[in-house]
Amino acid sequence: MKVAELRANTPVPEMTLEVVSKEEPRKYANDRGSGTVCNCAGKDEDGQEVRVTLWNEQCEQVNEGNTIQITEGWCSEFRGQLQVSTGKKGQLKIVK
């Protein structure tokens, strides 16, 4: 799947992105639990970028310059911007 094909509130069967920037991880706590969250920007093979949200251990695993593959992920919209994450059932793999 490519960035141009993303739509808010839809599944992301499989997507490969190069991580071009990564923000500092931050702690969160809400009624569903607590942990660490981190945003980064990923670009597809066409050069289009999308925000990627990393959760908990993913924040430590992924670095700028990595190529990641998200399978069974989810696309959502936050403050008017599309973002991709592994969602509840998805997986993240570092390809390179």
Q: What is the pLDDT of residues 37-85, one digit of tens each?
A: 999 999 999 999 999 999 999 999 999 999 999 999 999 999 999 999 9
In the DSSP assignment, the letter for residue 47 is S
pLDDT at 3 over 90: yes
With 0-12 CB in 10 A as exposed, 13-18 as middle and 19+ as buried, what is 78?
exposed
Is the pLDDT score of 88 beyond 90?
A: no
Give the E-state strand segments of 1-96 in sequence order: 10-22, 26-30, 33-43, 49-55, 67-78, 81-85, 91-94
Side-chain half-sphere CA neighbours of 82 within 13 A: 19
Second-level CATH architecture of 3-94: Beta Barrel (2.40)
Q: What is the pTM of this model?
A: 0.92
